[in-house]
């Protein structure tokens, strides 16, 4: 069984469940999810998202870097995956500033 074929771990399931709380038109960060899950590791969140077998139904594209830049997508940080992530976010109503970062008004925090 390849890593892509294995079932999600319990931790990954918690990450994917947390994603369903982020509404369309909003984004959250790897760090916000880590704090929400008491995980302490934004990188662990990123690794779980990289293996998301339920995309786009489980919207991993709604997770961005702490500075509200786009971050990664499907293990890539440049190229067509990032272009696709931006298009998905724009289709949901997420706004970007001139510097390419996401408008802070589009940010979702789990403690709201």
Q: Which residues are catalytic?
A: 60
d(CA 80, CA 65): 18
User: Would the CA dihedral through 11, 17, 18, 19 be positive or negative?
Assistant: positive
CA–CA distance, 33 with 76 (Å, rounded to integer): 20
CA angle 54, 44, 2 (to 5 degrees): 50
Tell the residue number behind the tokens 């990123």, with chain if given: 46
Q: What tokens were used for 71?
A: 């971050």
In whole angstroms, give the CA distance from residue 15 to residue 97.
Answer: 28
């Amino acid at each position: 069984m390849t890593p892509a074929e294995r079932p999600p771990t319990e931790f990954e399931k918690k990450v994917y469940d947390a994603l369903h709380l982020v509404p369309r038109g909003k984004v959250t960060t790897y760090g916000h999810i880590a704090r929400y899950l008491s995980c302490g590791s934004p990188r662990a969140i990123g690794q779980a998202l990289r293996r998301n077998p339920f995309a786009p139904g489980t919207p991993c594209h709604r997770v961005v870097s702490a500075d509200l830049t786009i971050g990664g997508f499907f293990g890539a940080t440049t190229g067509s995956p990032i272009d696709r992530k931006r298009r998905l976010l724009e289709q949901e109503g997420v706004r970007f500033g001139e510097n390419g970062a996401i408008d802070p008004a589009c940010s979702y925090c789990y403690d709201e």
